[in-house]
Structure 1
Amino acid sequence: MVAGLPVTRKNSKTAEDQNAEKTRLESRLEELLSNVEGVGEVEVIIMTGDEGNTENFSISGNNEVTGVLVAAQGAGSAVTVQNIQQAIMALFQIDANKIRIMKMK
């Protein structure tokens, strides 16, 4: 039982590190997109890892970005939506069907 404690702590730290990396990446993407003409205020959620595992958010290690959700003020414009989508596709090398862009209220 005691031998399992370091592993648990290591796994917890890894999960914390992964969550911090996900948050950092989301913030950087929000900053980038908010500076693109027509986008306005934006919020981003990045999903990675196994489908259905909402606890697994990381781009480090073997995990890959599996989806991106964006809420943007300028998403009412088809051109803006296309610009956001193409930026995310280029950045994460994911298909358009893994990206959802919604108009922020």
Structure 2
Amino acid sequence: MGSRQWVILLLLGLLLTVIALPVSDKKDSSPEVKSSSFFSASSEKNTDAERTVLEKKLEDLLSQTEGVGKVRVLLMTGEEKDSSSFYDSGNQAVTGVLIAAEGADNSVVSRNIVEGVMALFQLDAHKIKVMKMK
């Protein structure tokens, strides 16, 4: 056998190996939504332990951005079929972001927040909501 035939045989073997790998039969296509603090009885009773590291980091970053002021962040996570999704520490894809910021009434600040979150988590704009904090 020539070297070309050996390469073809090797590639065929690799292809058969990949085909034989088990595949998940998960049929639920809707994301399982979980949140670290959104569904608690009272937002004032939430502890820092309930909040994810990503939420804290994003709040910290946004609060240091010009015009944003105080900020609270909520990341919605769940199973996501898109392999380009950003994953939080619990290996759940970030599927949505809710941000309450003091400076959200300024359209430039609000747009900058949305664009920053879009770039960071690779989310579409409709999955990010910025609201004015009271």
TM, length-normalised to structure 2 = 0.55
Counterparts in 2 of 1:77 and 1:66: CA distance versus 1, 3 Å: same
For residue 36 of structure 1, report the CA deviation from its aligned partner: 0.4
Structure 1 residue identity aligned to 2:117: I
Structure 2 residue identity aligned to 1:79: V
Gaps of 5+ in 1: 1-18, 52-57
For residue 50 of structure 1, report the CA deviation from its aligned partner: 4.3
For residue 39 of structure 1, report the CA deviation from its aligned partner: 0.2
Aligned to 1:87: 116
Aligned to 2:133: 104
Two-structure CA RMSD over aligned residues (Å): 2.2
1:47 to 68, 76, 86: 76
Aligned to 2:106: 77
For residue 64 of structure 1, report the CA deviation from its aligned partner: 1.1
Structure 2 CA distance for aligned equivalents of residues 31 and 62 of structure 1? 22
1:67 to 96, 106, 109: 96
What is the number of equivalent residue pairs in this alignment? 81
Q: Which structure is richer in relative contact order (CA contacts within 8 A, separation 6 or more)?
A: 1
**C-alpha contact 2:104 2:132 (8 A) present in aligned 1:** yes
Aligned to 2:54: 25
CA displacement 1:20-56 (0-9 Å, x = unmatched): 69611100000000000000000000011049xxxxx
Structure 1 residue identity aligned to 2:114: Q
Gaps of 5+ in 2: 1-35, 37-48, 81-86
Aligned to 2:67: 38
TM, length-normalised to structure 1 = 0.69
CA displacement 1:57-93 (0-9 Å, x = unmatched): x624652110000000000000000000001000000
